[in-house]
Amino acid sequence: MSYRNNKLSLVGASVLAVLAAAQSGAQEAQLEEIVVTARQRAERIEDVPVTITAFTQTEIKNAGIERPQDFIALTAGVSQVQTAEAGDLQVNIRGINTARDAETNFALVIDGVLQTNPNALNQELSGVSQIEILKGPQGALYGRNALAGAMIITTRKPSDSVEFDIGLGGGEYGSFKGNFYLGGPVGDSARGSISAYTRTTDGQWSNLDLRCDDCVDFYEESGFQARLLFPVAGGDIDVKAKYSTIDAGAINFNASIALADVAPFVGPAFYANPNEHTFRYINNIAPQNEQENLNLSVKGEWETSLGTLSSYLAFNDQTNYFLTDGTSGAFLLYSLDATCRRTNDAKLSNPGYIPPFFGIPSSIWLTPAGNNGAGFLPPYSPTTCDGYQYQQRDQQDTSLELRLTSSGEQSPRWVAGLYAADIQRRVIVSQGSDFDRGLTAAGFVPTTGKNPTDLLYDDDFSSNVFAAFGQVAYDVTDALELALAVRYDVEDRSVDNNVPRCSSAAATSGPCRAQTVGFSFFSNPYINPAYTANPAFAATGIPSRSKSFSQLQPKLSANWKTSEDFAVYASYGYGFRSGGFNSSGSAATVASAFGRAGGTVLCLGAGLPPPTCGANATLNITDVNDLYRKEVSKAAEVGFKSFFADRTISVNFAAFQTKVEDMQFFNFFAGPFGLLRVVTNIDEVSIKGYELDARWNVNENVSLFAGYAVTDGEIDKYTGRPYTKGSEVPYAPKYTGNAGIDIKFPITTNWTVSARIDGSFVGETWFHPVQKQRLPNLFTYFGFGQGEFSKMQRDPFQSINARLGVTNGTFSLTAWGRNVTDEEYLQEIIPAPEFGGSFIHDSAGQSYGVDFTYSFR
């Protein structure tokens, strides 16, 4: 603790010294003018009737923004969760969250090209020159998925002169990064650039079972990009190619049990506060998460008598998988396996690092004593008894847009365009046995393989998208603009199943069955629950499905500039996220495990014994389908943008109210069937809130900034869990905020010292519609009583970052610290009510490092 405080005190003293020096003799400095492209044309930020947080190249450099998490933390009203794997970055904008395994909730536009892959954001931000975060529905221009907002990222264009940059950096936990950029003229009229980057870290956490400190949250990413701009037929062509790879850890969760009834008898660990959890990583399988990306695009612009004609053609190819430890050891699926029994008993002899509720000797697994709360296996255990889990998510997509934009000097100003995309995605989720002899990273591994597959969801998803859009903005007076935008999206989706079949539905072995001999007490189940619900599918295959989703997305806005320094705006618009398909067999799994289609029925009812589920009883969970519905948001917003004191101060405010129909929500289920990931719909949600941000250039050397947002969301109706009406909207912090100070001052004619401290603040957060309810779970039938989830709320937290550097424009050296107060907080809580607990993920602690850059101009 003293070491941490000493480092923090040193940082604080350094910044205070810089501040004192910077105040001496400094002059006033106006705020930088920001030009944005939120409405697909270049406009000053104050002229756009949209709430926008923008980061210019100067701000990106000052803040040390290198990854999406960095700028999200500095944007009020926006929060993020990054846990399961490299591509799993969930962004919440004004209470609407990215749902895992569904489409994203915001449009992502990079250099004018709309990205279609929800995993595209979480990559290194190399060579970024501006970032714009638009809040509220933006579907009228950006279409499908922009129901919460949009992110517009602009990268560095090669110039007419040679430019060269190189950067190196290092820090704690074996962290290293490097990058270079070379750009300039190519021939007489073209300009080009090449750039590359790499980042690697061992991570902050250690695996106590495998005895390694680089096998939990390790991360390595490398990428290469080439760009060429050249004139053609009176226009300009922009060609980009990028290739990148990621090798990282995955699924670094612990379990937090919520069995309130049994905790007084067997120990407090069965009903603990997850915010006070001590994390132990004891999984016997080192995680693998590998991602490979190829991004190609060609964009052109031509000036015509009607306006600017622009178009792009883009192709993206991503392969992504992870393989890691299993979640369902508590259900004894592999209890008859000799390897499971051997590894379980071996670990019980070394209890120093295992959870207090861990395990019982295998000799009494099958006796009544073994099922009465003497202990059970946790998820991600040091034994082989939980098997392994594998997920693969590959996508290829091609998109095309054609757009005509009028001059910005005329009234009315207009934009019209067409958009089309073809998206092919393969998703595999599987579980299998761990025989302690290595693992094959594949969706299906036969009985003869190292790690036979026992549960498999494997589907090919196809989407064909078409949209037409337009916007007209009219100057009613010199001060008042009215704008109407509208877009119509049609998305045709289909799914084809790849789960292997048997020659006959009556076959008792073969690829349609669990591949591990003895799995689930020799019950010999089908490999996919859809086969169990309809055995004929085991021979014929699961039928293909298709569905078309469409939505008209209008938006009306007004912007009234009472002066050059003050504007009031209002808008009302629609947003749309397409529906889709869960893995085939999802509905059958839930119905058989928790509903009336199976032997274990979970319904609401008080008491330690299992409740009796009559015909009119309220079940824990219903309305889980192989198809989930489209999501539509309707939002109203009013706000103002203002400048004061000769534009050295800016103050912006917005208030909003949003109605969401069929909000898509990710559910994680674990049980005797293994694991299951599905998307369901929350029928009706109401969200309201406000945002305030300000910036003050005290003088040419000192700048202050702050932002604060409040979000109040409530579930009005949820057919699948009707007892959650009135619960808060999941993944939406009650408040988000940030504040900081930037300081710079010259120490010689050529050299300048800079310093910065910024902090982000996040309020209490629920992660599931089940919040303060008591529910039965699968362990209720074994004497563990009800589960109670009022503790499954993340506590508020703050994270403070600091930077101190020196530069002469050519060379720069910067020392940095992240989370310098070593704040301990949870990244995510994933409640699994039918499991009787939650899966929880830690956040990184403090870290320090140094960066060096060299620039040639």
Asked whether residue 622 is assigned to any structural domain, the reply reads yes
Higher pLDDT pick, 374 / 741: 741
CA separation for the pair 130, 42 (Å, rounded): 13
Of 180, 219, 175, which is closest to residue 817 (Cα–Cα)? 175
Q: Is the pLDDT of residue 371 over 60?
A: no
pLDDT score for 826: 98
CA separation for the pair 435, 437 (Å, rounded): 5
Ranking 63-67, 190-194, 265-269 by mean pLDDT, the lowest is: 265-269
CA separation for the pair 25, 376 (Å, rounded): 69
Asked whether residue 323 is assigned to any structural domain, the reply reads yes
Most confidently modeled range among 381-395, 590-604, 705-719: 705-719
CA 801 to chain centre: 22
Q: What is the pLDDT of residues 483-498, one digit of tens each?
A: 999 999 999 999 999 9
CA separation for the pair 696, 694 (Å, rounded): 7
HEC profile for 96-108? Answer: EECCCCCCCCEEE
- Residues in CB range of 199: below 8 A, 6 or more apart: 124, 175, 176, 177, 219, 220, 221, 222
pLDDT score for 143: 84
- Residues in CB range of 200: below 8 A, 6 or more apart: 174, 175, 176, 177, 219, 220, 221
> Averaged over 257-278, what is the pLDDT?
90
Q: Is the pLDDT of residue 607 over 60?
A: yes
Ranking 29-38, 284-293, 356-365, 593-602 by mean pLDDT, the lowest is: 356-365
Structural contact between residues 176 and 221, judged by C-beta atoms closer than 8 angstroms: no
Which phi-psi region, left, alpha or beta, contains residue 794 (left: φ > 0; alpha: ψ -120 to 50)?
beta
Q: What is the pLDDT of residues 425-457, one digit of tens each?
A: 999 999 999 999 999 999 999 999 999 999 999
Which phi-psi region, left, alpha or beta, contains residue 64 (left: φ > 0; alpha: ψ -120 to 50)?
left
Structural contact between residues 578 and 99, judged by C-beta atoms closer than 8 angstroms: no
pLDDT score for 363: 57
Asked whether residue 548 is assigned to any structural domain, the reply reads yes
Q: What is the pLDDT of residues 136-153, one digit of tens each?
A: 999 888 988 999 999 999
User: Quick one: 13 exposed, middle or buried, by C-beta within 10 A (0-12, 13-18, 19+)?
Assistant: exposed
**Three-state DSSP state, 511:** coil
Asked whether residue 507 is assigned to any structural domain, the reply reads no
In 3-state terms the chain splits into helix, strand, coil percentages (rounded to 5) of 10, 50, 40
User: Residue 717 carries which side chain, given as an amino acid letter?
Assistant: K
Buried b (16+ CB within 10 A) or exposed e, 27-62: eebebeebebebbbbebebbbbbbbbbbbbeebbbb
Number of independent structural domains in the chain: 1
Range of the domain at 217: 2-499+542-856
- Say which CATH number the domain at 756 has: 2.40.170.20
pLDDT score for 843: 97
> Averaged over 742-759, what is the pLDDT?
96
Structural contact between residues 764 and 677, judged by C-beta atoms closer than 8 angstroms: no
**Three-state DSSP state, 446:** coil
Structural contact between residues 467 and 490, judged by C-beta atoms closer than 8 angstroms: yes
355 pLDDT band, cuts 50/70/90, is low
Quote the DSSP letter at residue 139.
H
Asked whether residue 331 is assigned to any structural domain, the reply reads yes
Of 22, 24, 43, 20, which is closest to residue 33 (Cα–Cα)? 43
CA separation for the pair 492, 462 (Å, rounded): 8
Asked whether residue 777 is assigned to any structural domain, the reply reads yes
Q: Is the pLDDT of residue 370 over 60?
A: no
| Pairing assessment for the beta strands 89-93 and 78-82 based on DSSP bridges | antiparallel
How many CB atoms lie under 10 A from the CB of residue 591?
17
CA separation for the pair 145, 108 (Å, rounded): 9
Q: Is the pLDDT of residue 708 over 50?
A: yes
How many CB atoms lie under 10 A from the CB of residue 199?
20
8 pLDDT band, cuts 50/70/90, is very low
Asked whether residue 531 is assigned to any structural domain, the reply reads no
HEC profile for 387-442? Answer: CEEEEEEEEEEEEEEEEEECCCCCCCEEEEEEEEEEEEEEEEEEEECCCCCCCCCC
- Residues in CB range of 290: below 8 A, 6 or more apart: 245, 246, 247, 319, 320, 321, 322
> Averaged over 650-662, what is the pLDDT?
98
Q: What is the pLDDT of residues 154-167, one digit of tens each?
A: 999 999 999 999 99
Cis peptide before 412 (omega within 30 of 0): yes
Asked whether residue 337 is assigned to any structural domain, the reply reads yes
